[in-house]
Structure 1
């Protein structure tokens, strides 16, 4: 196997039981004969070594060169830097939500948050020579990655009625706390006993929404003491907010009671409506140093349409000097295509066995640098339960995907990366939000807008009984107790990002070209993109490898 790229060198080292520093890989790639250089470096590795250091490789190559073996020379004698001839990826600083960029990618961007421009990298040569140690070496001591909200190993639900009562009660109590600081709410049982004409507020879970014959909106709100009807008049300036409501989400309303309230037939005429929401004054946390994370999802290895070449270009780019600050890789689900996920899927599979799909995904994961911190959550195509929250993979699959000591968590999970809270959620509920809300509020071409709705509701999958399967647990793992700094999803195979009350929402596209099934349901994917997040500023650049 030729070893002309750093990714292939890493793959070969992994197959022999070794990992290597980025600088070590660069030195091996720059040798006149990379395979011979690799053989020598492995042969002379200390017995207890699991990772080849740059110093070790440089020493071995120097010794062999002194012995007259020019096949392992780094080529540095002439003073030329080793270079890789390649077409660099397109770098997109922002994409308009109104049109397309030069690559024909559909709407997906930040709207008013970013200028409408697309910027390419002009050079035909990427210099991957070893830079100064003080710049190139990652500061491993500064790295930190913690996970919270992981259901893995904590699932207790049995599907009994009591489990559903517990999870909805927990949801109500936690979200109502966020709202009670803003309204002086009373239980519905107390409101029913109040005299007519008075003002009050209710915090409740939406059990019903319907329009009246006059075009007004009647919302049934339920709390732990009962239900109460609330009327939103069509001419109120906030009436369009009703279009954003979903069953089972928790809201607060303030208003005036009808005159007949004391008779038991009362109604609340709504004057104000509140979501749990993200405070407009929210200030996100940032890292203390310049470090980056690559946010990707929906790799779909095993599909005939998996973009292996684009993935390899992405992996190769991670070894370049441009990517020297990328120290984290966050994968938001659907590592493989799965089996039996949609009708006639077997006709579109390149690998028909689910375990073979994960074995192949692991091989592709070997191509990325071994010093990346990798965390993955499952999606609806992965071999875990479909109901959310989804536990992480079982031990057999974890063993298969143990490359580079990748960490696996449940869906959703909050990953704190050097002080930055990244809420990772695969995103199945985005289908529900897009289907239920008006197009200007949520659509597939601008997936970040649907994500804004979930942030506003402070819940990643508020509606029960629809497209999203929900598993009852002792507590609701899908509630956003704390505001994330970054909200990262996938699932819909569309690229889009923007900021909602200073929270960066990113849907990272996919690595699968359009399948026959996607074509039949009018899904045109944004494939082969990698959003690169600056953790110290929360600025983002999107690189295209397709």
Structure 2
């Protein structure tokens, strides 16, 4: 049947309050009277069902070609057939093993852990390394890049007889989810604890590279001694002679380092942000009052980082910034995307990772109410839930909040309250904090909405970070091993006992949104992806010169970490 038939069936079921598995849609589309089949399936669906499964369809159409048993037999419940991959019955917030396989009380297991073969690793020699530049959507149309290509959604002929999804092959775990674990009260001591945790964890990364001494110990060393210090950047300023003075702070005190302009370190100085963790090596002045820097070290991602990979061909769609409720929400593009997900060509897409801003929100920027199609925040989430029903029911979905969502603005952001979760329960999506790490069949994906990208782009030179190439700003966050290093600027930080914004474990994929620009590339074998948006340019965006890349869906091969960007607008 043509795609339009599938699309009509999906929308009709969504209108009636259901989403559906891909196989169920295929069976309904192939029925001699699709409309009558839809009516019959809806009439016979269990009262508590939220999704239509293939067994529901077979029970009313009599199609048993894919099943050795009669689904209508007495005592058989179609909803308990095992074809629903999300009906695992486990608690997604239960503690378990993290992405490295070790038990971590600070990580939450998604509960979707199933039998899975060992995951092969690939060395840096087997994948493109470092600093590829993303192309514009037009330039990459149908052409390869180091991390993938951009194609129109109907550019490839769908394969015949797509394989049926086996939920037992899926493996999905969540790490670093702070939802329900917030301890901060906003007291001064809470901030001290957050920055102490940041220092302790990032300094461990740097101690293997420099012979670190605490600030108070360096102050007692004789002049002319070689010394190295690891600390958080307390101050950076230029001297009258064109040198730079960097003050570092550790748990024992502060100490200044002078970076001479003739040392060849200017390029690195340009990248320094306040409050990030940094190591400086050099020689003490004769009076031991200052450290003359010879080298700077960021925590950084090792160039030898080895990536994980799925042991079968399976894909994940990486999207963000849907902005339902805005009068510029691109409903047609979204429907084209969800229609495509029901085609045989999209059969390998078993995961959808959504990096925040599901709705447009209320009161986010000046005069926003003039650009809203839906003015009530709860109605916005209800509308988003209706659009989510169009996604195949057998798709595993993970969502994190963004700055337009109805959660606290300060990061880390917990994954919504119970009321909003209940509105979005149509798809059994896993809703976790911003940021969070999602391990998908052996591939570690760091999901972060990306508010700090504004800060990085504002502070660093254009060649280091820009809105036109957002992945380069993401490289800087990977280099600093922290998603929001600078405190007190545009990015609000909530004090917690643990700094959930530290990138302690190197991810295989770094997925962000927020800036509404499409960009991707690899940094030390980590694929950095900013996935654009589903909102056309608003008047506010026009006033601040934001030209969004809307209606794109990066599709990631989890077995190869190659990526294709598909266009639906």
Smaller-chain TM-score bracket: 0.7 to 0.9
Q: Equivalences for 1:425-436 in 2 at 5 Å?
A: 425-436=448-459
Partner of 1:370: 393
Cα 1:162–1:120, aligned 2, differ >3 Å: closer, same or farther? closer
Measured in 1, the distance between the counterparts of 2:521 and 2:271 equals 19
Partner of 1:199: 226
TM superposition score normalised by structure 2? 0.83
Counterpart of 1:380 (choices 400, 403, 407) is 403
8 A Cα contact 1:292 1:534, kept in partner: yes
8 A Cα contact 1:379 1:411, kept in partner: yes
8 A Cα contact 1:7 1:369, kept in partner: no
Partner of 2:518: 495
8 A Cα contact 2:134 2:469, kept in partner: no
Measured in 2, the distance between the counterparts of 1:144 and 1:36 equals 37
Give how far 1:29 is off: 2.2
SS in 2 for 1:244: coil
Give how far 1:122 is off: 6.8
8 A Cα contact 2:402 2:514, kept in partner: yes
8 A Cα contact 2:50 2:426, kept in partner: no
- Pairing 1:25–2:28 present: no
Measured in 2, the distance between the counterparts of 1:118 and 1:457 equals 30
Q: Equivalences for 1:52-201 in 2 at 5 Å?
A: 52-54=52-54, 57-58=57-58, 60-61=60-61, 97=133, 100-102=136-138, 113=146, 119-120=151-152, 131-132=160-161, 135-201=162-228
8 A Cα contact 1:280 1:501, kept in partner: yes
Measured in 1, the distance between the counterparts of 2:338 and 2:308 equals 29
8 A Cα contact 2:137 2:518, kept in partner: no
1:394-423 superposed Cα distances (whole Å, 9 cap, x missing partner): 000000011111110010000111111111
1:9-68 superposed Cα distances (whole Å, 9 cap, x missing partner): 34443565655431221121234542211112334557887654435535643589xxxx
Q: Equivalences for 1:239-250 in 2 at 5 Å?
A: 239-250=266-277
Q: Which has the larger radius of gyration?
A: 1
8 A Cα contact 2:172 2:440, kept in partner: yes
Measured in 2, the distance between the counterparts of 1:415 and 1:453 equals 21
Measured in 1, the distance between the counterparts of 2:470 and 2:311 equals 30
Measured in 1, the distance between the counterparts of 2:457 and 2:229 equals 28
Cα 1:502–1:98, aligned 2, differ >3 Å: closer, same or farther? closer
Cα 1:350–1:15, aligned 2, differ >3 Å: closer, same or farther? closer
1:326-350 superposed Cα distances (whole Å, 9 cap, x missing partner): 0000000000000000000000000
8 A Cα contact 1:333 1:377, kept in partner: yes
8 A Cα contact 1:11 1:363, kept in partner: no
Measured in 2, the distance between the counterparts of 1:185 and 1:326 equals 47
Measured in 2, the distance between the counterparts of 1:519 and 1:422 equals 32
Counterpart of 1:419 (choices 442, 447, 455) is 442
- Pairing 1:291–2:314 present: yes
Cα 1:537–1:381, aligned 2, differ >3 Å: closer, same or farther? same
Measured in 1, the distance between the counterparts of 2:531 and 2:454 equals 15
8 A Cα contact 1:291 1:325, kept in partner: yes
TM superposition score normalised by structure 1? 0.87
Q: Which ranges in structure 2 are unaligned for 5 or more consecutive residues?
A: 65-131
Counterpart of 1:347 (choices 351, 370, 390) is 370
8 A Cα contact 2:134 2:519, kept in partner: no
Count of aligned pairs between the two proteins: 499
Of stretches 304-313 and 6-15 in structure 1, the one that deviates more from structure 2 is 6-15
SS in 1 for 2:262: coil
CA RMSD of aligned residues (A): 2.4
Measured in 1, the distance between the counterparts of 2:481 and 2:49 equals 47
Give how far 1:307 is off: 0.2
